[in-house]
Amino acid sequence: MTRTLPTLLHTGDTLAHSGIAHGLSTAAPSSAAHTDSGAILTLRIAVISETYTPEVNGVALTVAGLVRGLRELGHRVLLVRPRQRGERAERVSADELIVPGGPLPRYRELRYGWPVYWRLRQLFAAERIQALYVSTEGPLGWAAVLAARRLGIPIASGFHTRFDDFVAHYGLAWLQRTAFAYLRAFHNRANTTLVPTEQLRQELLGGGFRDVRILARGVDGQTFDPARRSLALRQSWGLAEHELAVLFVGRIAPEKNLELVVRSFEAIRARGIPARMIWVGDGPARAELARAHPGHIWCGMRHGADLGAHYASADLFLFPSLTETFGNVTLEALASGVASIAFDYAAARQHLRDGIDGRSVPFNDATAFVDAAVAVAADAELRAGMAGNARRTAEALAPGAVSTRFAELLVDLTRSAR
């Protein structure tokens, strides 16, 4: 590594001493975002993310959708991300730069990017970048923010991951306040921080974040569609026609509160309801859980239409995670027409109507979660009604509207910085 994190931090210190610790320099963006008549021009936008597809997680999929949406609207997007397995660090095209990186400790399937500050600063200037969106708070994200601030490029940051909550699930609860302070310091160096819900916006503002705006999430109603329900897939799970497929989709890791999935499923079976537990995803807890529950179905990572078929072929979706910034899987289950059980926060509070699309139970009330799962599992007519309602709820969440709003936010930042 030719440029280390201490080097980046030294660069940050220099920047702070230059008098722009919390604002932008006086340099204007390289070109206007609007004509004199007010018509919107296409922008040259840099998007920085230390996770990206084909990695499968909420951040990677959300950022990929935003990049795709911006490009479909005619904006020119430069994507900067770390190399993934089997890739080289190089300029892939005019619209993508892959930088060196390494695996995250205790999260080795994800990578961080090296803090290539000078490379980014030169690139942003040469490409005449007009706005920056940074979705991750690692070394690459810091380097991008510092480079953009030096050049006077307006910055939007995305608050995607509750690292302050994660640390408690990895034996580091004593670091929660430090982690939150780190996140605050990072995001307050942007012009604005984008979050998916009003609940999270209020929490961050109360915690000292300066400018927090809402950018809603959408869901692809073609990929996630009840029409993808597959009898053949259900049969491969060993299900008879009348049996229930209970589903979890996500990272199989301690922070997802998976013990409550198991507890809920066992309560369903204890009621005499014939059911199989279906797990889609991977992670550090999978091997131990699979050994403890050999009768469960372990499907591993799934993508695209295949993932959509796994959702649509289920009858009940359980999502007891307590650490979500949003929880895209909740929207995917709704769009797939699957009755869902989740805690009343994040995506569930925003979109899952309790008793209509599924059950949204009080936060961290494990008993209420189990009781709701059993009640919905036991009532086929209730599940069918919830499934239809869930699909109708998701149909209002088209990704195109989210992309348009995102582009408007970035254009607004360029106007404010002029």
CATH number of the domain enclosing 286: 3.40.50.2000
Which phi and psi angles does 294 have, rounded to 5°? Answer: -65, -20
Residues 302 and 203 in one domain: no
Nearest residue to 44 (alpha-carbon basis) of 95, 107, 118: 95
Residues 334 and 190 in one domain: no
Amino acid at 311: Y
Residues 333 and 234 in one domain: yes
Residues 57 and 190 in one domain: yes
Paired strand residues for 247: 278, 317
Amino acid at 339: A
Nearest residue to 255 (alpha-carbon basis) of 333, 346, 323: 323
Residues 249 and 213 in one domain: no
Q: Which residues contact 166 (CB under 8 A, 6 or more apart)?
A: 179, 255, 323
Residue 46, helix vs strand vs coil:
strand
Residues 172 and 131 in one domain: yes
For 81-99, letters b (16+ CB in 10 Å) and e give bbbbeeeeeeeeeeebbbb
Q: How many domains does the chain have?
A: 2
Q: How many C-alpha atoms does 126 have within 13 Å on its Cβ side?
A: 9
Tokens of residue 123, six digits = 């690139």
Q: pTM for the whole thing? A: 0.80
Question: Cis ω on the peptide bond leading into residue 54 (within 30° of 0)?
Answer: yes
Residues 362 and 403 in one domain: no
Residues 208 and 276 in one domain: no
Residues 115 and 93 in one domain: yes
Tens digit of pLDDT at every position of the chain (418 positions): 333 333 333 333 333 322 223 333 333 333 334 444 455 578 999 999 998 988 878 888 899 999 999 999 999 999 999 988 778 878 778 899 999 988 877 666 667 899 999 999 999 999 999 999 999 999 999 999 999 999 999 999 999 887 766 666 666 677 778 888 999 999 999 999 999 999 999 999 999 999 999 999 999 999 999 999 999 999 999 998 889 999 999 999 988 999 999 999 999 999 999 999 999 999 999 999 999 999 999 999 999 999 999 999 999 999 999 989 899 999 999 999 999 999 999 999 999 999 999 999 999 999 999 999 999 999 999 999 999 999 999 998 989 989 999 999 999 999 887 6
Residues 59 and 201 in one domain: yes
Domain span at residue 59 reads 5-218+399-417
pLDDT of residue 28: 35
Residues 170 and 288 in one domain: no
Residue 36 Cα to chain centre, angstroms? 37
Contact 266, 295 (CB under 8 A): no
Residues 177 and 303 in one domain: no
Contact 29, 152 (CB under 8 A): yes
Report which secondary-structure segment, H or E, holds 213. strand 212-214
Q: What letter does residue 315 receive in the DSSP assignment?
A: S
